[in-house]
Chain A
């Protein structure tokens, strides 16, 4: 395998793969990243157990998903970046095709058409979370960096098409994340700040136009954010109860499984999107900061891997995966604490849910692959 060859070249006296750290390297695993992720997951399982009303079957379910996700990560980590890059356009095309299928014949659940049933039921939009940054990075790989305006226009189309299709499902949270993952790539590629500022100014009328196209419940979410007390039993209820949960947690929290907001069912969506509020209630500021530190460590490690990547594609992709993860964390925690509108973004690796966990871990698998498949010299 390429990995072991590289390792031997880099450090001929590297320990034999018989011991643990050798095994980790042989499997193309990045130890610090894996360690950070596992800490988050274990912490997350504790919170989930309490948030789900001490329901251990749900916990087992989540642990199984976690196992599947880790296996996915392990598999992806074995795929060299060059291989991933070659297959990127095909993956992106298949992803778009699946999105078309979802819009035409997808399963409806909770008022949205998001699922596709091909033996197993899954959301193609999840795959696009990786396919879009990969496609953007692929496009820029062979082109001049920083990107030119014409290239940016093409990239804008590459990002906009899946984003709009997902927004139409409707799945605002995922479409925001997907757009972000693509935009992060072009920002990292060196798009000029002046252009970004200009686009930002243009975004104001754009937002007004978008407002007219938004569904009522989406508008309601924005309005509710601005004034949650206006509708305390309706749309504002989630935010009010989540703020009460977090605020009443104080510095050290009410103790594991003792959160009254969560356990007496005042807090809605407590084991999915609002699990961060359960953490805040039961473990307090101390627990919340612990999780944020773990997240920052993972993001930092991801950026470290990006900086040390050996080609444009790997670098941009690794940067995008890491920073998109940050967007995840920020959007969820900011929505649960009432800073941004409630969009359906789960707390990564902690919220109950399957597909997103697999996508996330696959993304980290890419990071690991990029890190362990570094070549000695740029070509």
Chain B
């Protein structure tokens, strides 16, 4: 090889090399100089920009939901509280295929197949980093089951959260209501900044109408997160330096109800197994002491989330457990309005205290074959106004209806609060109906229907026909009777308490007005008649009031569900249970110094005095401290 190689000049070669090496060194230094210049640019001139970006990278602001206020009864016993529970959450931005993840979760029975579309919609509607709750309360078994499968479900995790809990179950379901998961409609309605991080909102009852007080205000905290958005444990303390201050959430206010747990229980027990409602209130303040609607339901599944099937079962139940009969149920008030109409008749001169009718069991208008029947087929014989109330003679009221007239009935019944919403502090109240000529003119189409017929006045005098009232309205009217015309707005919430300062804002009684009857003599007589309904020798509910340790007053009512054909004896046993008359009763006590007014309705209960009155009595006994079993 050496033979083939040219003569080499090592000195010039080395000089050439040194020259090239110097050039190479210069280029090297220049190249590294470029890198260093770049580093100076990044680390010195643009340092602040990148420091900020680095901070923004790792710090995430997370809303901290406030703790929802407690709901307590008038004696401070807990009706709605918050319990810790584990819930299953999905963070949309961390899940590649939401539908696939959801169907795999359904496959291991953590969620229901039917709920997948709902969760998909929720995952798409909110902010992508905000967790969507798939299940609110996981059982220990579900936690264990999911824990081992967690790697299969990136973006799905269980989190400890506070879950609303109603320790008394169905007892307060209609009065207090329940909270449910925020749905897309709620999200449009609510202030999202305030509800950032909140999962539930009040849906019905006090939970809904006092949502503003109960909810509180969201706080926020700064989290250190890694590139995958997962929070880094706080013990990486050096990374937590220079974080902005967090803002703690302000908890929601505690709500003190005027309801009494014991009274509620008594009313509920008394109604159990029937469809009906009990409303008891303190007539001197309007405070609602008990508000029960049966059948009821357990509100807890609403708070923890229930399957569509569970919900449908409640919704489709023939007895309509979700229906709040106490404020939304409208019933013909029947004879319960007789004391009010009696007062109206006295005030307008349509009758007087001495006038007597002879009751033969039915009443006929002149020139009309139609028999308006008394509840007592054989008739009451001669009755005055007192007897007509105490014995609930229909014929007496049929007779005076012509002189009183529908417009006077409307005028006075309206003053007792019937026919319009009471303004109670739970949502969804129905106004009921007190008919009048004007109402009929405005609400019917055909000319014949727009006319008011005399026969309609006749049946209106015993609270039938078009007339409708809610149990709450009847309780309020009973209270107005007890106070000789004074009416206070019924309310369930007694006080709102700031949980931090303990300061309570008491809900003051709101006076709604007086019934325009000044003659105390009229009141004395009509209230006396109501007293005799329960404690007089011939009162319809005398068996209920007999032997009681205190004086009370009441009025029974029986409202027809179906009209009975003329001259046809009806045998209630032959009728479907659901076609039986509704049983109603209003009452108040103690007679001389009334502190409780009660309205009871038992759907298809047949007899107001026989079925509804004992329930009213039980509630009054309990409240006034005369209950046989005081501890119940």
B-binding residues in A (CB < 8 A): 142-146, 184, 187-190, 241, 243-251, 255, 258, 260-261, 263-266, 280-281, 284-285, 288-289, 292, 295-296, 299-300, 303, 306-307, 312, 315-316, 319, 323, 326, 329-330, 333-334, 337-339, 378
Using CB atoms, name the residue of chain B closest to A249.
Answer: B43
Q: Which residue of B lies closest to A257 (CB)?
A: B238
* Distance of B479 from chain A, by nearest CB (Å): 65
22 contacts between A and B (CB under 8 A): A142-B8, A188-B20, A190-B17, A241-B57, A244-B53, A246-B43, A247-B50, A247-B53, A248-B50, A248-B53, A248-B54, A249-B47, A250-B51, A260-B57, A263-B236, A264-B232, A280-B42, A296-B32, A303-B24, A326-B31, A337-B35, A339-B34
Q: Are A142 and B28 in contact (CB under 8 A)?
A: no
- The reply to whether B24 and A248 contact each other, CB–CB distance below 8 Å, is no
Q: Which residues of B contact A246 (CB under 8 A)?
A: 39, 42-43, 50
When distances are taken between beta carbons in the complex, the residues of chain B under 8 Å from A280 are 39, 42-43
Q: Assess the B43–A244 pair: CB atoms within 8 A.
A: no
Task: Give B35-64 as 1s and 0s: 1 = Cβ < 8 Å from A's Cβ atoms.
Answer: 110111011101101110111011000000
- The chain B residue with its CB closest to the CB of A145 is B13
CA distance A255 to B239 in the complex (A): 11
Report the nearest A residue to B241, measured CB to CB.
A258
Known: A247-B42, A249-B43. A264 touches B224 (CB 8 A): yes
Q: How far is the CA of A198 from the CA of B72 in the complex (A)?
A: 92
Nearest CB of chain A from residue B543's CB, rounded to whole Å: 79
B18 at the interface (CB under 8 A from A): yes
Q: State whether B238 touches A255 (Cβ < 8 A).
A: yes
Smallest CB separation, B371 vs chain A (Å): 85
B46 touches A247 (CB 8 A): yes
Could you tell me the distance between the alpha carbons of A378 and B10 in the complex, rounded to whole angstroms? 8
Residues of B within 8 A of A190 (CB): 13, 16-17, 20
Minimum Cβ distance to chain B for residue A157 (Å): 19
Q: Would B24 and A142 count as touching, CB distance under 8 A? A: no
Asked whether A264 lies within 8 Å of B51 as measured between CB atoms, the reply is: no
How far does the alpha carbon of A295 sit from the alpha carbon of B5 in the complex, in Å?
37
Q: In the bound complex, how far is the Cα of B467 from the Cα of A272, in angstroms?
A: 85
Q: List chain A residues, Cβ under 8 A from B29.
A: 296
Q: Which 5 A-B pairs have the closest CB atoms?
A: A247-B50, A142-B5, A248-B54, A264-B226, A247-B42
Residues of the A chain whose Cβ atoms lie less than 8 Å from the Cβ of B6: 142-144
What is the chain B residue whose CB lies nearest that of A141? B5
Query: Which chain B residues (225-252) contact chain A, with CB distance < 8 Å?
Result: 225-228, 232, 236, 238-239
Cβ of B25 within 8 Å of any chain A Cβ, yes or no, is: yes
User: Is there contact, CB below 8 Å, between B28 and A323?
Assistant: yes
Separation in Å of the B593 CB from the closest CB of chain A?
A: 72
Is B17 a contact partner of A307 (Cβ separation < 8 A)?
yes
Q: Report B-chain residues with C-beta under 8 Å of the C-beta of A243.
A: 42, 50
Partner of B54, one of A184, A187, A244, A289: A244
Q: Restricting to B190-237, which residues have a CB under 8 Å from any CB of A? A: 224-228, 232, 236
**Which partner residue on chain B sits nearest A311 by CB separation?**
B10
Sample of 8 more A-B contacts, CB < 8 Å, known A258-B238, A265-B227, A329-B32: A142-B2, A187-B20, A250-B43, A264-B232, A284-B43, A285-B44, A319-B17, A333-B35
**Contact, CB under 8 Å: B238 / A142:** no
- Residues of chain B within 8 A (CB-CB) of A315 are 14, 17
User: Closest Cβ of chain A: how far from B27's Cβ, in Å?
Assistant: 9
B17 touches which one: A188, A247, A288 (CB < 8 A)? A188
Determine if B28 and A326 form an interchain contact, defined as CB atoms under 8 angstroms apart: yes
Cα distance A250–B45 in the bound complex, in angstroms: 9
Cβ of B34: which chain A residues have Cβ within 8 Å of it? 334, 339
Judge if B1 is at the interface, Cβ distance under 8 Å.
yes
B17 contacts across to A, CB distance below 8 A: 188-190, 306-307, 315-316, 319
Cα distance A263–B225 when bound, in Å? 10
The CA-CA distance from A163 to B238 in the complex, in Å, is 47
Which residue on A lies nearest to B6, using beta carbons?
Answer: A144
Contact present for B8 and A244 (CB under 8 Å): no
Of all chain A residues, the one with the shortest Cβ separation from B28 is A326
Which residues of chain B are near A188, meaning CB under 8 Å?
17, 20-21, 24
Taken together as a complex, chains A and B put the C-alpha atoms of A284 and B38 apart, in Å, by 13
Closest to A308 in B: B14
Complex Cα gap A339–B40 (Å): 13
Task: Report the separation of the CA atoms of residues A27 and B6 in the bound assembly, to the nearest whole angstrom.
Answer: 35
Assuming the contacts A244-B53, A265-B226, A315-B14, asked whether A292 and B43 have C-beta atoms less than 8 A apart, the reply is no
Report B-chain residues with C-beta under 8 Å of the C-beta of A326: 28, 31-32
Residues of B within 8 A of A338 (CB): 38
Q: Of A258, A263, A319, A330, which one neighbours B32 at CB under 8 angstroms?
A: A330
User: Which of the listed residues B42, B46, B47, B49 has the most CB atoms from chain A within 10 Å of its own CB?
Assistant: B42
- How distant is the Cα of A329 from the Cα of B39 in the complex, in angstroms? 14
Closest CB-CB distance, B242 to chain A, in whole Å?
Answer: 11
* Nearest CB of A to B404, in Å: 80
A297 CA to B29 CA in the complex, in Å? Answer: 11
Q: Among B8, B39, B47, B55, which residue has its beta carbon within 8 angstroms of that of A337?
A: B39
Given A292-B32, A306-B21, A339-B38: A264 and B43 within 8 A (CB)?
no
What separation, in Å, do the CA atoms of A135 and B400 have in the docked complex?
A: 128
B4 adjacent to chain A (CB < 8 Å) = yes
Contact A339 B225 (CB under 8 A): no
Question: Are B32's CB and A266's CB within 8 A?
Answer: no
Given contacts A260-B57, A264-B227, A306-B21, are A146 and B16 in contact (CB under 8 A)? yes
Please name all residues of chain A whose beta carbon is closer than 8 Å to the beta carbon of B1 when the two chains form the complex.
Answer: 142
Among A260, A284, A303, contact of B58 (Cβ-Cβ < 8 Å)? A260
Contacts of A319 in B (CB 8 A): 17, 20-21, 24
Return the chain A residue nearest B224 by Cβ. A264
Q: Which residue of B lies closest to A326 (CB)?
A: B28
A261→B238 CA distance, assembly (Å): 13
